[in-house]
Amino acid sequence: TRDAPAEPRVLEMGAAEGRTLLHLRELIGRPGDYVGVEYADDLIAVAPPMPPDTRLIKGDVMDLPEELEADSFDLVTCLAVLEHLPDPAACVAEALRVLKPGGVFVATCPNPFWDQIAGMFGMVADEHHEIEVTGKYMVDLANDAGFSRARFRPFMWVFTGVLPYLKVDLDPELSLRIDEAVSKLGLLDFSFVNQALVAVK
C-alpha cells in the first residue's frame, strides 16, 4: 500500500522452515528485512534457499533473541503458533516489544471446535495444543499486552475449508470473497474454521 515503508521489516514468529515467510515477502512485493524465528533445528535445517534480505534464526517466540531490538519491526506475524505455547501472553508481549509504534501484529489460530472435528476425521495431524484459543482470548491477550487496537475476525468458511482435503483447488481470492459474503449474513462466526487477530501498537 502507499503507506507501507519502502523497505519493510517483517518478523514471523514460529516460522517453521520459512516457506510462509517467503510467501509474505512475495505478497508484500518489495525488498526489506524479513526475519523468521524458529525453535526447531530440524525445521531450520530443511529451509529452502532464501533471498539476501530474508533469513531464519533460532529462537524462542516467548523470549525473542536479543538481536531483535525493540521498536524495530513494521509487521509481526504469528500464524498457528499461540495454541502450541505454554505462555501465549509472553509471545504477544514480545510481539508488542519489537514492533514500531503503529506497527501491526497478525496472529491466527484454528477454531477449537472445527480443529477437534478435523482431528476426529483425520483431516489434520494429531498435534499437541497447550490451550484452546478463542477469539475473545486472542483479543484479551492483545489488550492485556498493551496494544492500542485489537480486532478479531474469523476466516475460512468450513465448506470451502474442506475443499483441499477433497482435492478441489479453490482460488484464494474467491475464498476471501466467499468469507466476506458469509460474514455479512451475521450470526455465522461459528462456521469459520480459522481465527485471526489484527492488533496495532
CA distances from 84 to 128, 130, 134 (A): 7, 5, 14
Helix (H) or strand (E) holding 117: helix 112-120
11 confidence band (pLDDT: 50, 70, 90): very high
Q: What is the pLDDT of residue 142?
A: 98
Q: Please state the pTM of the whole predicted model.
A: 0.82
- One-letter amino acid at 135 equals G
Q: What is the pLDDT of residue 127?
A: 55
The SS3 assignment for 118 reads helix
Task: Determine the average pLDDT of the residues in 17-35.
Answer: 96
The grid coordinates listed for 192 are 469459520
State the Cα angle at 155 between 72 and 34, rounded to 5°: 25
Condensed to tens digits (0 to 9), the pLDDT of residues 43-65 reads: 999 999 999 999 999 999 999 99
Rounded distance between C-alpha atoms, residue 113 and residue 104, angstroms: 27
Q: What is the pLDDT of residue 1?
A: 45
Q: What is the pLDDT of residue 110?
A: 85
Condensed to tens digits (0 to 9), the pLDDT of residues 107-139 reads: 999 876 545 555 544 545 545 566 788 889 999
Q: What is the pLDDT of residue 133?
A: 84
Q: What is the pLDDT of residue 183?
A: 73
Q: Given its phi and psi angles, is residue 155 left (phi above 0), alpha (psi -120 to 50 degrees) or beta? A: beta
Rounded to the nearest angstrom, the gap between the alpha carbon of residue 27 and the centroid of all alpha carbons in its chain is 14
Q: What is the pLDDT of residue 119?
A: 52
CA distances from 155 to 19, 24, 39, 175, 180 (A): 21, 18, 27, 9, 9
Q: Tell me which of 122 and 35 has the higher pLDDT.
A: 35
Mean pLDDT (the chain, rounded): 85
- One-letter amino acid at 79 equals L
Condensed to tens digits (0 to 9), the pLDDT of residues 147-189 reads: 999 999 887 666 676 666 667 777 777 777 777 777 776 656 6
Q: What is the pLDDT of residue 178?
A: 74
Task: Determine the average pLDDT of the residues in 185-198.
Answer: 76
Q: Which of 79-93, 150-164, 183-197 has the highest mean pLDDT?
A: 79-93
User: What is the end-to-end Cα distance of the chain in Å, rounded?
Assistant: 19
